[in-house]
């Protein structure tokens, strides 16, 4: 495996910097970070909904500008989630769930500003460590990505869905159903390879283009989540603050918060590495990484009883990990098109919408664009640090937004946004239908990330399947032999088999072998 | 002997949202597989493959409780990195636990059902008369239902109308056109003229309309 010369890499990185620091790209990045912090801080909104709503609006933007905006929203929202976690005991995003465990007690102990400063500083350091690692990994990643062909990319799509179902609630079979259903609905309209008209009719022109993945994304993430949010009382923040525990007063010290992080480099670095590693596992994402990092910090703590009572190391471990996870999730998303979470699924959708296909292209001819995303994350972390430390006194207001007022606005934006992409009324119907389907899927523990992954990857998987079958000279069922003669394909098949049948083997075969 | 109450309970248990969802997936996948017989081999492989996975998967979930215990991990098995009660990877946006056993307020429809009905009605009415005027009505009614002050009702309806106006005038989306009725035709040319000046996409759209 040969790695590109350092000079070429530096040249590509310089190209990436040139993209980011040009106007209006830099402006989109700053806007994205600020928007992300606000979206992340509002309980119940989060990055996936915000990015889904922005997706159709980004249609007129240059591809690299749009993706930098989305990456920045994603990063900002990860930090924003900690604001509501610390101030009102409600994580704005699942990635900040572990932050509540010590962040809110700190807030109640009169250390809200200290906790928010720890969060901003640990997020900054964790994010920087992960991005530097990402720069180092990319040349090697490129070689792996270039070794993949059509059969491998087809199998990787299924592997991604299988891996997501492993960590999803409700069991693997429901995840597989959701993923396969997502792929099935993308087959409506003209077939990408053969040109067959499928599940559509010439008499109904609106059906000819099939179901748009953007509409499905918006329906599932924006409308479905709004239906779920409608269950909850209007002001989540206000209802909690009016409760017996009261809201955390904004007192404490910025300097003390920064000092806590500086005095605990091992916790921050270790959490960042955990976040990066877990983020690189498709399906795991920040919702897992922050708990793993928190658990590790707790394990090595000399006074474990202090965890849960406002231990600063609890906050910094969770925040360093979830910030580093953002860089980690980019690895499978950009290289193999397997998103690790809802937000990265939308990011993948944005890449495809703007003609940037994950895989070899992003690591060869568009490598400078890929580096511009990394640099956006790098610079974005500095902005988070500055915004986080300077705007602390005002951040609490964001968490008090009445969600009842947000719901109709989000629904309206979702409907219009989907309609704007293709001027097709079918997309409005798709948004409404998948909003309802998405709500009931979540309620019954079907993975909506697997559904979205299926919808986004469906056409790519089908195109790669068709190409794979074309490679093989045999007809009919024998054409599938192509998946058994290529070493990487065989490895992927074994991985898929082990993931799907692993629980079965673990429960039945292994005990029998041990018994005998 | 089963009483009427027992039968009603059994019926309610059978007609839960999970079973309806599984039935929906079954019908869609069976239909998709059946229709795919008319496609060419290359065009039918992928839809058939995915339809089979959905169909067989749904059947396995439906009969999962009746399968041998040793097979059940295959249906419900999942690897737990951390306590699954604490996290849900599907939830990018975390929400606090809310006691849904108590009604949020005394209304003929619960909030979820009301929101669902409103979304479907909004899409249907918007399709029929155009979204420009259906939108403020939807937003206003929605807020009014949740007992917000009249000022909020008016403000949100105005914001919703403004969003529609921006989509028409900036992005050139023809939201004022309904399938059966177009309300606000007099207003629309001015908005689309504005869109033509501002948006290249709208210019393209206008050209297509002329053709």
Candidates B93, B104, B195, B202: best to mutate against A (most CBs of A within 10 A) is B93
Which chain B residues are Cβ-neighbours of A168 within 8 angstroms? 78, 89-90
Specify whether the CB–CB gap between A151 and A479 falls below 8 A: no
Structure tokens at A317: 């471990």
Cβ-defined contact of B89 to A167 (cutoff 8 Å): yes
The alpha carbon of residue A216 is apart from the nearest alpha carbon of chain B, in Å, by 15
Label residue A70 exposed, middle or buried (CB < 10 Å: 0-12, 13-18, 19+): buried
Asked if pLDDT for residue B34 goes beyond 70, the answer is yes
Count the neighbouring beta carbons within 10 Å of the beta carbon of residue A198. 20
Cα–Cα–Cα angle for B193, B194, B197, rounded to 5 degrees: 90
Label residue A364 exposed, middle or buried (CB < 10 Å: 0-12, 13-18, 19+): middle
Q: Which residues pair with A198 in a beta bridge?
A: A189
What's the pTM value of the predicted model, to 2 decimals?
0.76
Structure tokens at A64: 């690299």
**A197 secondary structure, DSSP code:** E
Which chain A residues are Cβ-neighbours of B148 within 8 angstroms? 234, 404-405
User: Comparing C-alpha atoms, which of A309, A388, A293 is closest to residue A33?
Assistant: A388
Which chain B residues are Cβ-neighbours of A285 within 8 angstroms? 89
- What is the C-alpha to C-alpha distance for residues A172 and A278, in angstroms, rounded to an integer? 20
The per-residue pLDDT for range A92-125, each reduced to its tens digit, is 677 777 888 888 888 888 888 899 899 999 999 9
For residues A243-250, average pLDDT: 46
Cβ-defined contact of A93 to B61 (cutoff 8 Å): no
What pLDDT sits at residue B195?
57
Percent of chain A with pLDDT over 90: 16
Cβ-defined contact of A416 to B163 (cutoff 8 Å): yes
ipTM for the whole complex: 0.77
Q: How confident is the model at residue B89 (pLDDT cuts 50, 70, 90)?
A: very low
Cβ-defined contact of A187 to B50 (cutoff 8 Å): yes
Asked if pLDDT for residue B88 goes beyond 60, the answer is no
What pLDDT sits at residue B7?
58
Out of B46, B76, B98, the one facing A232 most closely (by C-beta) is: B98
- What is the C-alpha to C-alpha distance for residues A354 and A461, in angstroms, rounded to an integer? 18
For residues B118-133, average pLDDT: 92
Q: Which residue, chain included where needed, has tokens 């990402």?
A: A134
Candidates A187, A406, A429: best to mutate against B (most CBs of B within 10 A) is A187
Candidates B27, B41, B46, B155: best to mutate against A (most CBs of A within 10 A) is B46
- What is the C-alpha to C-alpha distance for residues A450 and A454, in angstroms, rounded to an integer? 6
Three-state secondary structure string covering A346-409: HHHHHHHHCCCCCCHHHHCCCHHHHHHHHHHHHHHHHHHHHHHHHCHHHHHHHCCCCHHHHHHH
The per-residue pLDDT for range A31-77, each reduced to its tens digit, is 999 888 888 887 667 788 888 888 888 877 888 889 899 989 988 88
Asked if pLDDT for residue B208 goes beyond 50, the answer is no
Cβ-defined contact of A181 to B126 (cutoff 8 Å): no
Task: Tell me, yes or no, if A482 comes closer than 8 A to chain B by beta carbon.
Answer: no
The alpha carbon of residue A255 is apart from the nearest alpha carbon of chain B, in Å, by 30
Cβ-defined contact of A416 to B28 (cutoff 8 Å): no
What pLDDT sits at residue B73?
65
Domain boundaries, chain A: 6-485
Out of B49, B53, B84, the one facing A169 most closely (by C-beta) is: B84
The alpha carbon of residue B4 is apart from the nearest alpha carbon of chain A, in Å, by 28
Cβ-defined contact of A173 to B74 (cutoff 8 Å): yes
Compute the mean pLDDT over every residue in chain A, rounded to the nearest whole number: 82
Q: Which residue, chain included where needed, has tokens 């910030």?
A: A323
The per-residue pLDDT for range A153-207, each reduced to its tens digit, is 888 887 877 777 766 656 778 888 999 999 999 999 888 777 788 888 877 777 7
Cβ-defined contact of B95 to A465 (cutoff 8 Å): no
Which chain A residues are Cβ-neighbours of B138 within 8 angstroms? 408, 411-412
Structure tokens at A215: 């509409």
Q: Which residue has the higher pLDDT, A250 or A360?
A: A360
What pLDDT sits at residue A169?
58
Q: How confident is the model at residue A267 (pLDDT cuts 50, 70, 90)?
A: very high
Which chain A residues are Cβ-neighbours of B203 within 8 angstroms? none
Compute the mean pLDDT over every residue in chain B, rounded to the nearest whole number: 74
- What is the C-alpha to C-alpha distance for residues A424 and A419, in angstroms, rounded to an integer? 6
Structure tokens at A303: 């006074």
Task: Tell me, yes or no, if A231 comes closer than 8 A to chain B by beta carbon.
Answer: yes
Domain boundaries, chain B: 4-76, 111-210
DSSP string computed for A281-337: STTTHHHHHHHHHHHHHHHH-SSGGGTTS--HHHHHHHHHHHHHHHHHHHHHHHHHS
User: Comparing C-alpha atoms, which of A102, A62, A145, A49 is closest to residue A337?
Assistant: A145
Task: Tell me, yes or no, if A415 comes closer than 8 A to chain B by beta carbon.
Answer: yes
């Amino acid at each position: 495996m040969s790695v590109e010369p350092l000079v070429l890499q530096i040249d590509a990185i310089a190209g990436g910097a040139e993209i980011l620091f040009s106007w209006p790209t830099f402006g989109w990045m700053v806007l994205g970070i600020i928007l992300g912090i606000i979206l992340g801080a509002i309980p119940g909104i989060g990055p996936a909904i915000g990015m889904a709503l922005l997706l159709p609006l980004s249609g007129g933007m240059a591809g690299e500008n749009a993706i930098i905006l989305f990456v920045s929203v994603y990063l900002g929202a990860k930090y924003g989630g900690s604001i509501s976690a610390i101030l009102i005991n409600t994580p704005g995003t699942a990635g900040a769930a572990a932050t509540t465990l010590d962040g809110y007690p700190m807030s109640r102990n009169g250390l809200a500003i200290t906790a928010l400063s720890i969060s901003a500083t640990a997020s900054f350091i964790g994010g920087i460590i992960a991005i530097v690692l990402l720069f180092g990994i990319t040349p090697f990643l490129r070689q792996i990505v270039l070794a993949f062909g059509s059969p491998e990319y087809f199998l990787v799509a299924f592997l991604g869905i299988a891996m997501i179902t492993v960590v999803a609630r409700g069991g693997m079979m429901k995840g597989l159903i959701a993923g396969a259903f997502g792929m099935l609905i993308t087959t409506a309209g003209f077939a990408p390879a053969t040109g067959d008209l499928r599940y559509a009719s010439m008499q109904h022109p609106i059906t000819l283009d099939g179901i748009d993945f953007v509409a499905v994304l918006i329906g599932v993430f924006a409308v479905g989540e709004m239906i779920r949010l409608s269950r909850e009382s209007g002001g989540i923040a206000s209802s909690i603050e009016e409760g017996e525990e009261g809201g955390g007063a904004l007192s404490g010290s910025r300097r003390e918060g920064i000092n806590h992080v500086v005095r605990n480099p091992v916790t921050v670095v270790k959490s960042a590495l955990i976040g990066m590693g877990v983020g690189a596992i498709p399906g795991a994402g920040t919702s897992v990484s922050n708990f793993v990092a928190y658990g590790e910090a707790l394990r090595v703590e000399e006074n474990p009883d202090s965890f849960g009572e406002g231990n600063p190391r609890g906050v910094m471990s969770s925040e360093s990990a979830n910030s580093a996870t953002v860089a980690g999730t980019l690895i499978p998303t950009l290289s193999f098109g397997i998103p690790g979470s809802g937000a990265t699924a939308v990011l993948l959708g944005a890449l495809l919408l703007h003609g940037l296909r994950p895989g070899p292209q992003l690591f060869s001819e568009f490598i400078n664009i890929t580096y511009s995303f990394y640099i956006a994350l790098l610079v974005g972390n500095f902005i988070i640090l500055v915004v986080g430390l300077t705007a602390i006194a005002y951040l609490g207001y964001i968490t008090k937004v009445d969600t009842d007022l947000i719901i109709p606005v989000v629904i309206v934006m979702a409907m219009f946004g989907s309609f704007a992409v293709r001027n097709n009324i079918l997309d409005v119907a798709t948004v409404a239908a998948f909003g309802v389907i998405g709500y009931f899927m979540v309620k019954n523990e079907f993975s909506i990330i697997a559904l979205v992954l299926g919808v986004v990857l469906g056409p790519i998987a089908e195109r790669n399947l068709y190409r794979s079958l074309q490679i093989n000279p045999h007809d009919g069922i024998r054409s599938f032999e192509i998946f058994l003669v290529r070493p990487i394909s065989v490895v992927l098949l074994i991985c898929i088999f082990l993931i799907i049948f692993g629980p079965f083997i673990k429960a039945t075969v292994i005990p029998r072998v041990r018994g005998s | 002997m089963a009483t009427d109450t027992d039968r009603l309970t059994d019926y309610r248990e059978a007609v839960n949202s999970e079973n309806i969802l599984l039935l929906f997936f079954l019908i869609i996948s069976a239909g998709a597989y059946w229709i795919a017989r008319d496609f060419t081999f290359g065009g039918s492989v992928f839809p058939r493959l995915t339809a089979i996975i959905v169909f067989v998967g749904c059947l396995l979930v439906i009969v999962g409780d009746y399968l041998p215990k040793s097979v059940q991990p295959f249906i419900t098995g999942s690897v737990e990195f951390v306590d699954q009660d604490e996290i849900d990877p599907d939830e990018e946006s975390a929400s606090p636990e809310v006691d849904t056993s108590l009604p949020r307020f005394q209304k003929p429809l619960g909030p979820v059902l009301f929101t669902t009905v409103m979304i479907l009605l909004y899409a249907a009415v918007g399709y029929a008369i155009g979204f420009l005027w259906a939108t403020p009505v939807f937003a206003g009614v929605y807020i009014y239902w949740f007992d917000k002050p009249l000022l909020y009702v008016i403000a949100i309806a105005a914001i919703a109308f403004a969003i529609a106006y921006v989509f028409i005038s900036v992005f050139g989306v023809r939201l004022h056109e309904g399938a059966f009725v177009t309300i606000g035709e007099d207003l629309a040319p001015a908005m689309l003229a504005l869109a033509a000046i501002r948006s290249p996409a709208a210019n393209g759209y206008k050209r297509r309309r002329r053709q």
